[in-house]
Amino acid sequence: MDVMQSLIRECRSGIPDMVRAGAAAEGIDPAALARAVAAGRVVIPVNPRRTAPPCPIGEGCRVRVNVNVGTSGILCDEGLEVEKAKAALACGADTLMDLSTAGDLRNLRKRILTLPAPVGTVPVYEAVRRAGSAADVDADCLFRVIRDHCHDGVDFLTLHCGVNREALEALKADPRIMGVVSRGGAFHLAMMVQRGEENPLSAEFEYLLEILADEGVVISLGDGMRPGALVDAERLAKTTEYLTVGRLAKRAMAAGVQRMIEGPGHIPLGQIGHNILTIKEVTDHAPLYLLGPLVTDLAPGYDHVVAAIGGAVACMHGADFLCMVSPSEHLALPRIEDIVEGTRVTKIAAHIGDTMRRPQALWEPRERAMAEARRALDWERQFTCALYADPARKIHARDGDLDTCSMCGELCAVKMIRELFEKEGTAGKE
């Protein structure tokens, strides 16, 4: 397993093939991408045991979208989770995470790993399952699961290394209404409190890095202390974890392990900027992966929209990777239609993020093509330019095959102005 363990080092001296392929897919300069990987500002999660398409995540790259799938104790239908994963990819999801907690975990993981995208997991879920309860998970059990996931071909692992004694003390010193809302974070706290031990991912972080370096797997430093409510956003546990994660991010780089960072959570819109900038600062600008941020708690059923607002703004400040939030967030395990709606809305937020982050030449042509199609009232061309043609076509078609749309009919401003300027001999066009 020599190929991946050294991707960071290889990028210091040249441009590996995987980086060339990733750069081509991104439309960016391969040498710049190699420098960004070498500096830890971009990760490319590809387990060398399988061949997921290279999906660079970080500075200069498109904002990527991950979609979570997975069984729960209440709804456990492996076939359905595979269908959800396929539906997500059909909507343009860039990566998948399998967060299953019930059923034949390994079998489902292997099925999801056959799909053409980088796949992530949260090994502590399976450790709890194997041990029977969080209190029964010891370091051996946890590291065994981590190794198994690497061997199965998982490309990135969410590991809650920042949930340590210091974080627990911060949580007690400055309590929060929602306590801890990260499932992985909660498992680790339960292990720590009930066993009276430090989190093994923290205590044996160097050993963890050895495994990941051997396996060429990316670590995603989980945000077990992310606030679970707007009113919890300014409590100490969150920033304590930022600092811990920042130290661990440096150690991962030193060990040649690609790492990214997971960030909040539930925070008010006005606090996104300094949170993102703080995380970027303390982690030497590691790629940042966000769930949300959710910028209000008052809109269950519409959390996909709330997360899109928070996510787009987070991208303004440097977030790189958005986790899909579905309309069923906080309410239920998503159904396929929730996955589709959530993925579309998150991808729209990611594209809006791209308009902030990427050179104009990389996003403007498609926006320009849409404007030209609209000017021409060429509906098929509009649908081709659209991120999602089907919902647009369906709405437009419902009132018949119209030249304009049923909003304005003959009073269409675009049509009026086009005709007016054509009559006058002045092209209102570049």
Residues 193-222, mask of contacts with its own copies (x by CB under 8 A): xx----------------------------
Residues near 350 by beta carbon (within 8 Å), at least 6 away in sequence: 62, 63, 64, 65, 311, 315, 322
Which residues make beta-bridge pairs with 296?
A: none
Number of C-beta neighbours around residue 398 at 10 A: 8
- Give the pair of three-digit tokens for residue 309: 């607002």
Gap between the Cα atoms of 120 and 156, Å rounded? 5
Site string for its own copies, 33-72 (x = CB under 8 A): ---------------------------------------x
Nearer residue to its own copies within complex by CB, 137 or 257: 137
What is d(CA 94, CA 326) in angstroms, rounded to the nearest whole number?
A: 16
Show the binding pattern over residues 94-133: x = contacts its own copies (CB under 8 A), - = does not: -------x-----------------------x--x-----
User: Interface residues for its own copies in 240-279 (CB under 8 A)?
Assistant: 268-270
Q: Which of 2, 74, 116, 361 binds its own copies (CB under 8 A)?
A: 74
Q: Name residues whose C-beta falls within 8 Å of residue 164's C-beta, 6 or more positions apart in sequence.
A: 192, 198, 199, 202, 244
Angle subtended at Cα 291 by Cα 286 and Cα 293, rounded to the nearest 5 degrees: 95
Applying CB under 8 A, the site for its own copies has a residue count of 108
- Contacting range for its own copies; rule: CB under 8 A; set: 22-30, 43-51, 281-289, 308-316: 308-316
d(CA 390, CA 367): 18
Residue span binding its own copies (CB under 8 A) among the ranges 18-26, 158-166, 254-262, 404-412: 404-412
The answer to whether the Cα torsion of 345, 349, 355, 358 is positive or negative is: negative
222-241 positions binding its own copies, by CB under 8 A:
228-232
Q: How many other C-beta atoms lie within 10 A of the C-beta of residue 285?
A: 20
User: x/- site string to its own copies, residues 147 to 186, per CB under 8 A?
Assistant: ------------------------xx--xxxxxxxxx-xx
- CB burial of 289-314 (b: ≥16 within 10 Å; e: otherwise) equals bbbbbbbebebeeebbbbbbbbbbbb
Of 50 and 388, CB closest to its own copies = 388
Positions in 348-377 near its own copies (CB under 8 A):
348-349, 351-352, 355-356, 364, 366-368, 370-372, 374-375
Site for its own copies in 384-403 (CB under 8 A): 385-388, 391-392, 394-396, 398-399, 402
Question: How far is the CA of 159 from the CAs of 124, 131, 154, 198, in angstroms?
Answer: 8, 18, 13, 15
Part in contact with its own copies (CB under 8 A); list of ranges 10-18, 23-31, 253-261, 307-315: 307-315
Q: What is the closest distance, in whole angstroms, from the C-beta atom of residue 224 to its own copies in the complex? A: 9
CA-to-CA distance for 142 and 68, rounded, in angstroms?
21
| Region near its own copies per CB under 8 A, out of 1-9, 148-156, 197-205, 300-308 | 300-308
CB of 290 to its own copies, least distance (A): 15
